[in-house]
Structure formats: C-alpha cells, structure tokens
Structure 1
Amino acid sequence: MAITNSKDCNLIFYTNPMSRGQIVRWMLEETGKPYQMEVLEYNASMKDPEYLKINPLGKVPSIVHNGKVVTECAAICAYLADVFPECGLAPSVTERADYYRWLFFAAGPLEAAVINRTLGFDVPQVKERMVGYGTYDAAVDTLAKAVTTHEYIAGSEFTAADVYVGSHVIWGQQFGSLPKSKAFQDYAEKLMQRPAYKAAQEK
C-alpha cells in the first residue's frame, strides 16, 4: 500500500486512480479537511485480509473516519457532508428533498441504466417494469431535465449531490456513456471549473 499525507490523520481514504475513488477524492477536496490516502492495487492489496476487514468486497473506495467505516460513493459523499457541516456541502434538513432524490437517483436507476447499456444489455420491453429505471432513454431524459432545472442539482447552491451526479455526467461525456448534449456539457463544464475538482484531478 502506498501511503501519503499525515499518518496521524483520523480520516483514511482507500482508493485506486483508475476507480470510482475519483469521486470521493473530489468530495474530500471539497471539504478541505486533511486525509490520509492509501492506494491499493487490483487483485493484490485490495484482496489483502487486512483490507477485506474494511470492505469485504475487496473494492474501492472506502473511508475510515474516527474508526468508522463507510463504503459506496454516494454514502461517502453524504456522510462527509454531514460530519463536516461547516463546509456547507448539504442543504438544511428541511431543504434536502432534491438533494437526496438526485443523489440516490444517480446511485440507483442511472448507474444501472448506464452500466447495462455499456455491457450491451437492453431491457426487453415486456420486462421494463422489473428494473428500476425502465429504459436507458427514460433515465437519461430524467437526468437531463434535472441538471437544467436549477443552477445545481439540488437548487441554487453546490452540494455533495453535485459531486456524485456531476461525476457521472463528466465521465458520461468523456467516455460516451451519456449522449453529448448541451444540458450535460454545460453542467459538466461548470463543475470542472471548481478548484476542488481541479485539485482532485491533479492528485
């Protein structure tokens, strides 16, 4: 394991550069809090018994904060926004409807639709009610409307939901898993100008 940053830090981030760990690294940079990063290798240190105690699936990213383990990108983003409220990365509790809605839409229906399409699987019409997204086109159209309704995904302010949803949109534009459209391109370009996004990419 390659270790960087302070060994005395109470926030440890397990990742690999070629993984969804990029989402969490962006979120960590948005908080501005110190963290220790451990880079794991596929089919090697990710499968070490020591790491499997943290994430039994042997995948990244994971974080350990004050001895508590959090896995899954959407959960990590929401967790970090909650434990560091002074960073302003979550709306007030009474204003979190859109925040939760789109954070978990991206983690559920959108990701399933995109991955199935990438794998070459299209849901038969008679089976559409069995999947959470119905059709790829329906999921994409829903997302396109969401990113153009407000300045950011949950309203007028940037939040942790933009880190997660935005990562899907940025990757979708870069790798072709989402259609090229003005709605997606404008949203992606706006987020890519954030200093924390740039800092995460440099790392």
Structure 2
Amino acid sequence: MAEEIVFYTNPMSRGRIVRWMLEEVGQPYRAVVLDYGTTMKAPDYLALNPMGKVPTITHGEVTVSECAAICAYLADAFPQAGLAPALDDPMRGPYLRWMFFAAGPVEAAVTARSLGLLAPADKAGMVGYGTFDTVIDTLETAVSGGPYILGERFSAADVYVGSQIAWGLQFKSIPERPAFAPYAARITAREAAVRARALDDALISAA
C-alpha cells in the first residue's frame, strides 16, 4: 500500500505509542503535531476524530483512531514488518487477546484506581475489569511466558501492552511485579522505541 501515512499527534500524549509503532513498521509517514484545546478541536481535525483527541492516522482513504486499533491496523497493513500473526496462525488469538485486554480492562482499571473510583467489591461483576488485583495478576501472566508476549516473537502487542506497563511503572499507577520491569526494559530498548522517544522528546524540547 503506497498511500501516504499521516500521523496526528502530540508528543505529550498516547501518540508516543503510535510513534513507536510507526518506527517499528518502518514505512514513511508524515507527522502533524496538534495542540490541546486549539488545533485538536478544529473542525478539520474533528472531521477525522470527533473526540478531538490524538493520536489518529490516515492512510490513503482509511482513518483510524484509538491506539490499540492503530497498532493493529498498521501491523496488518504492513505484514512485511512481521508485527502480527496471520489470520491462520494459532498465535493470532493470544495476540488479539492481550492487545485488547490492555486497551480494555487494564486501561479502565488503572484509570479508575488513579482516580479513586474502583468499583466496590460487591459491584466488581458489573465492570469489565472485575478487580484491580485480578487485572494486574492477569497482566503479569501475559509477560511472564517468554521475552515477549508471544514467546520468542515480538509483535504489535508488545508495543501497546508494553507501553501501558512502562508508563504505569514510571507513574506508579501499576504496581511493581517481578516480570514487569525486566519486560519493560527489554522492549523499550529496541531501536525503533529509542528512535520514537528521541523524536517526541525533541518536539517537547523545541516547544
């Protein structure tokens, strides 16, 4: 697919996850940096993402928002990067499971806990994450079976899930577990991750 990838972001946002994913994919892209409260809320951008948030990408006539969806899309759009199991690969199931487990229960539970809004024990069955401790136990399982979520194979799931873990450890919104810090250090040392951080940090420094 030769269509241009346009990446709408802000270096102080979840766009950092997608920047890393784009660097892993290795395809040319054009970054458009938007500002909170101004260009993110402009009519032309709201036509792409009515939430007025970043990141969003366009790829030809395709528009995708939400970090996990963007990571999944890019992995499938550029299979030569080897970042997603094929549809007939048995690892496709675990790949999708952990990607969207992080986008759903992990994100919801970590945010709720940070805001002091976790569901009480007698209401845990009403929320998708159940309990915070169960989510963290399950997340630890995801990264304990090998160097990567899919064992020996790095994938887009590591970009997304790994970003959640790395940020959670940095901001102490995810408790330390024996598997978390080594896993986060391993994946964030990848060349693409280092390049992505450098690009976003330079934008912050120049602001």
Q: Does residue 1:86 correspond to 2:77, yes or no? A: no
Pairwise mapping of residues 124-163 of structure 1 onto structure 2 (< 5 A)? 124-163=120-159
Query: Do the aligned residues in 2 keep the contact of 1:123 with 1:135 (CA within 8 Å)?
Result: yes
Runs (5+) with no aligned partner, structure 1: 1-7
Q: Does residue 1:16 correspond to 2:16, yes or no? A: no
Cα distance in 2 between the residues matched to 1:122 and 1:55 = 29
Q: CA deviation at 1:154?
A: 2.2
| 1:162-191 deviation per Cα after TM superposition (whole angstroms, max 9, x unaligned) | 000000010011110111222100110001
The code of the aligned residue for 2:24 comes to: E
TM-score by length of 2: 0.92
Tell me which of 56, 77, 97 is aligned to 1:101.
Answer: 97
The code of the aligned residue for 1:135 comes to: T
Query: Do the aligned residues in 2 keep the contact of 1:16 with 1:39 (CA within 8 Å)?
Result: yes
Runs (5+) with no aligned partner, structure 2: 200-207
Tell me which of 25, 33, 36 is aligned to 1:31.
Answer: 25
Tell me which of 41, 54, 71 is aligned to 2:35.
Answer: 41
What percentage of residue pairs aligned between the two structures are identical? 56
Query: Do the aligned residues in 2 keep the contact of 1:9 with 1:35 (CA within 8 Å)?
Result: no
Q: Does residue 1:74 correspond to 2:98, yes or no? A: no
Partner of residue 113, structure 2: 117
- Let me know the Cα RMSD of the aligned residues: 1.2
The code of the aligned residue for 2:168 comes to: G
Query: Do the aligned residues in 2 keep the contact of 1:9 with 1:34 (CA within 8 Å)?
Result: no
The code of the aligned residue for 1:188 comes to: A
Q: CA deviation at 1:37?
A: 0.3
The code of the aligned residue for 1:88 comes to: G
The code of the aligned residue for 2:92 comes to: R
Query: Do the aligned residues in 2 keep the contact of 1:102 with 1:154 (CA within 8 Å)?
Result: no
Cα distance in 2 between the residues matched to 1:68 and 1:79 = 10
Pairwise mapping of residues 153-192 of structure 1 onto structure 2 (< 5 A)? 153-192=149-188
The code of the aligned residue for 2:169 comes to: Q
Cα distance in 2 between the residues matched to 1:138 and 1:124 = 14
Query: Do the aligned residues in 2 keep the contact of 1:9 with 1:36 (CA within 8 Å)?
Result: no
Cα distance in 2 between the residues matched to 1:122 and 1:110 = 12
- Displaced runs of 4 or more, over 3 A: none
